[in-house]
């Protein structure tokens, strides 16, 4: 007979309600942070893979011709710093 009158809700006190609201807020914040970190990780991956792919080209050659190497590496470092920051 008790099952007939079960409307699917439970009474809670004020402290229990605040705890749930705080937990939901923390979960929402962490979800946002997780998304930002995933975006940064994807951007880093997409920046590094072309470099590695180009370095793997023609493995039978002993040397890599890389004009303006210092300038290019510094630009790449700046790009990585921007992604991380």
- Walk along the chain (85 residues) in steps of 10 and give the mean pLDDT of each run: 66 73 80 83 90 86 86 91 86
In a domain, 65, yes or no: yes
Q: What is the pLDDT of residue 78?
A: 92
Q: How many domains does the chain have?
A: 1
Q: What is the pLDDT of residue 3?
A: 63
User: What sign results for the dihedral spanned by CA atoms 73, 76, 82, 85?
Assistant: negative
In a domain, 69, yes or no: yes
Q: What is the pLDDT of residue 6?
A: 66
In a domain, 29, yes or no: no
In a domain, 48, yes or no: yes
Burial of 63 (0-12, 13-18, 19+ CB in 10 A): exposed
Q: Tokens 């190497």 correspond to what residue?
A: 69
Paired tokens of 19:
């705890």
Domain extent for 75:
39-85
In a domain, 63, yes or no: yes
Paired tokens of 44:
């880093």
In a domain, 76, yes or no: yes
Count CA atoms within 13 Å of residue 58 on its CB side: 6
In a domain, 9, yes or no: no
pTM of the model: 0.56
């Amino acid at each position: 007979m008790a099952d007939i009158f079960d409307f699917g809700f439970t009474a809670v006190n004020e402290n229990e309600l605040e705890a749930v609201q705080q937990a939901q807020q923390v979960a929402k914040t962490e979800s946002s942070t997780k998304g930002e970190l995933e975006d940064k990780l994807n951007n880093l991956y997409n920046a590094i893979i072309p470099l590695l792919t180009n370095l793997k080209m023609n493995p039978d050659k002993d040397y890599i011709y890389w004009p303006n190497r210092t300038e290019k590496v510094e630009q790449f470092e700046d790009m990585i710093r921007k992604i991380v920051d």
